[in-house]
Structure 1
Amino acid sequence: MTHFPINLANLSQLTIGRFPFTTCITTRWMDNDMYGHVNNVNYYSYFDTAINEFLIKKANFNPLNSEQIGFIVKSSCEFIHPISYPGSLIVGVAIKRVGNSSVDYVAAIFDANETLCATGELTHVFVERISQKPQAIDEELREVILNYQG
């Protein structure tokens, strides 16, 4: 898999093809706010859904039974173009950095016409499920994640 580093400073060159993992999300009626567009809190939900779908589908991560789970400890979003219900979205995910117990993701939301609507950066810290203390990322999971660096 060959992908080039994703530079959020140059959004004019950011396309869906730059992301090694993509998934489709449909907006819901309840996502709209009183101004007729998707409320900002939902963008974070779209990012979180796409990242977890990536981990489940590509890394065989089982969030219900895994001994190790990931907590989002840091997130940011830059809103570029409004979206609303009804709408079909494409969310791209790439890995920016892999640490000992953490992963930094870059994500972007595109509308059905592939217009860039938002970008995000999120950090997962992987912890042992019961103690909830950080621990080194499982080697099998790490190997898969490294293949999706942006």
Structure 2
Amino acid sequence: MEKRRGTRADYRHLLAIPTRWADLDAYAHVNNVVYYAYFDTVVGDYLVRHGALSIATSPVIGLVVETGCRFFAPITFPDIVTAGLRVGRLGNTSVRYEIGIFRNDEDAASAEGHFVHVYVDRGTQKVPTPLPPILREILTPLAVSA
């Protein structure tokens, strides 16, 4: 059974990201690795803008321990990407971020993916650490039921 392509309405937060000429591969499509940069961009932007992450000083940081992406339709330059963000699971020390990538004004996702952050102490980068209250506070509105 094939999974349904998500739509913009499936995501709680949207961020426009312009494509760049350098994003293209030899086939004139946005290269698959660039999609992971879109994932990082929408999550990082959301966390920084909502005060849950200071890249230089946060005592707790998220490390990616799992990631995946399903591609449905190509994107090229000079398209505008809209990255949709939701939280699939909000755990004690981890978060599953789910991202939809949309081309221009299209409603159906061109790609959908996820990654899991395990939050750890910045100093050791090994010891899982409970999510800080500010992180839980800003991510709760993005959470969806499984």
For 1:41 and 1:71, locate their aligned partners in 2 and report how far apart those are by CA, in whole Å: 18
Contiguous gaps of at least 5 residues in structure 2: none
Q: Please report the TM-score for the alignment, with normalisation by the length of structure 2.
A: 0.90
Which has the larger displacement, 139-148 or 119-128?
Answer: 139-148
For 2:121 and 2:18, locate their aligned partners in 1 and report how far apart those are by CA, in whole Å: 33
**Alignment correspondent of 2:3:** 9
Q: CA RMSD in A?
A: 1.5
Match of 2:124 among 128, 131, 140: 131
**Alignment correspondent of 2:24:** 32
Contiguous gaps of at least 5 residues in structure 1: 1-7
Q: Please report the TM-score for the alignment, with normalisation by the length of structure 1.
A: 0.88
Asked if the contact 2:52/2:134 (under 8 Å) is kept, the reply is: no
For 1:107 and 1:79, locate their aligned partners in 2 and report how far apart those are by CA, in whole Å: 12
User: Are 1:51 and 2:51 counterparts?
Assistant: no
**Alignment correspondent of 1:145:** 139
Give how far 1:55 is off.
Answer: 1.1
- Aligned with 1:52: secondary structure? helix
Give how far 1:140 is off.
Answer: 2.0
Match of 1:94 among 75, 86, 93: 86
**Alignment identity in percent?**
35
Asked if the contact 2:70/2:112 (under 8 Å) is kept, the reply is: yes
Deviations 1:96-117 (A, max 9, x none): 0011110001100001122421
Would you say how many aligned residue pairs link Structure 1 and Structure 2?
141
Asked if the contact 1:59/1:145 (under 8 Å) is kept, the reply is: no
For 2:89 and 2:3, locate their aligned partners in 1 and report how far apart those are by CA, in whole Å: 17
